[in-house]
Amino acid sequence: MPELAEVEFYRRVWAVGLGDVVTSIDLHPQARVFRGTEPDSLRPLAGSTFSSALAHGKQLLFGFQGAGWLGVHLGMSGALSIAPPEHLADRHDHLVLRTGTQSLVFRDPRMFGRVRFDLGSEPPEWWTSQPAQVLSQAFNRKRFAQFLERRQGTPLKALLLDQSLFPGIGNWMADEILWRARLHPAKLPNQLSKCETSRLWRITREVARDALRVIAPDWGEAPDDWLFNHRWKAGGICPRPHCRCPLARAELRGRTSCWCPQCQDLASS
């Protein structure tokens, strides 16, 4: 599933169309991606001007002057792309917005994603009520400590995946954060020292910044000194030069986690 940086990448893909006028719309009205939204409600987009492209965590919001707001969640397999204006939508291209110079395409083979549309000149309430982003000033040490205080019995890996607290953090980012912080994914917040809590906050923001810097501009490759390139590799080992311990994997609350048993020992981390 696309996470913080991948979502930002797709925001930038469609953002090249800012300022264009939508001339026509193609969509698959029976597609599951329109659940909760009447596909015909998107018709006002025709004739509108593409005016803004926003990302928040795993959510995308595109503004159209004279029409409203198109919300997109990419789900498991969703992707945004740019195609020629004469692009012929295939069975997985569930929404195509055509302009005079290009087509904005939303493709989702598995249809776990979602498209929604809201009228109005201001962003919809579901967008403005989202939690603070991890790189915002509002996501400070005090707020972070309060999160942990409220979820004392939740393992750190599961906590980091809670989108109501950590928008945009997904499976690979959570594993990366805990590996860099040297904390076992099953460790509980009430087992953290003040120093560990502070380190976890700092590294959560560090990984978010690194992901946006490396991946968001052009889907760049993560460097080999990240856990990212080793976490699913057969025979993968910890990339720390002084460690090189074989990595461990297990399911934790329904999500597979990867960690270094030496750097992230549960008893001592």
Average pLDDT over all residues of the chain: 95
Tell me the C-alpha distance between 117 and 35, whole Å. 11
In a domain? residue 251: yes
In a domain? residue 268: no
Domain boundary, last residue among 128, 152, 168? 128
Residue 199 has pLDDT above 70, yes or no: yes
Residues 156 and 177 in one domain: yes
Residue 269 has pLDDT above 80, yes or no: no
Strands of 101-252 (E only): list them: 103-107, 114-119, 248-252
Q: What are the residues facing 98 on neighbouring strands?
A: 24, 103
Domain boundary, last residue among 128, 158, 182? 128
Query: Which CATH number fits the domain that encloses residue 189?
Result: 1.10.8.50
Residues 124 and 225 in one domain: no
Residues 49 and 146 in one domain: no
Residues 145 and 63 in one domain: no
Structure tokens at 223: 């460097």
Query: pLDDT tens, 207-217?
Result: 999 999 999 99
CB atoms within 10 A of CB 153: 8
In a domain? residue 248: yes
Can you tell me which residue has the tokens 């590294």?
Answer: 203
Q: Domain tally for the chain?
A: 2
Q: What is the pLDDT of residue 255?
A: 87
Residues 49 and 107 in one domain: yes
Q: What is the pLDDT of residue 253?
A: 85
Query: Which CATH number fits the domain that encloses residue 116?
Result: 3.20.190.10
Contact in structure between 17 and 92 (CB atoms under 8 Å) = no
Query: pLDDT tens, 21-69?
Result: 999 999 999 999 999 999 999 999 999 999 999 999 999 999 999 999 9
Residue 124 has pLDDT above 80, yes or no: yes
Tell me the C-alpha distance between 149 and 165, whole Å. 12
Give the pLDDT band (50/70/90) at residue 254.
confident
DSSP reduced 3-state for 97: strand
Domain boundary, last residue among 78, 102, 128? 128
Can you tell me which residue has the tokens 């001007």?
Answer: 49
Give the pLDDT band (50/70/90) at residue 187.
very high
Residues 35 and 110 in one domain: yes
As a whole number, mean pLDDT of residues 93-121 equals 96
Q: What are the residues facing 257 on neighbouring strands?
A: 250
Q: Is the dihedral of CA 234, 2, 205, 150 positive or negative?
A: negative
Rounded (5°) CA angle 100-106-97: 25
Residues 68 and 171 in one domain: no
What range does the domain containing 76 cover?
4-128
The burial of 53, by beta-carbon neighbours within 10 Å (0-12 exposed, 13-18 middle, 19 or more buried), is given as buried
Residues 118 and 60 in one domain: yes
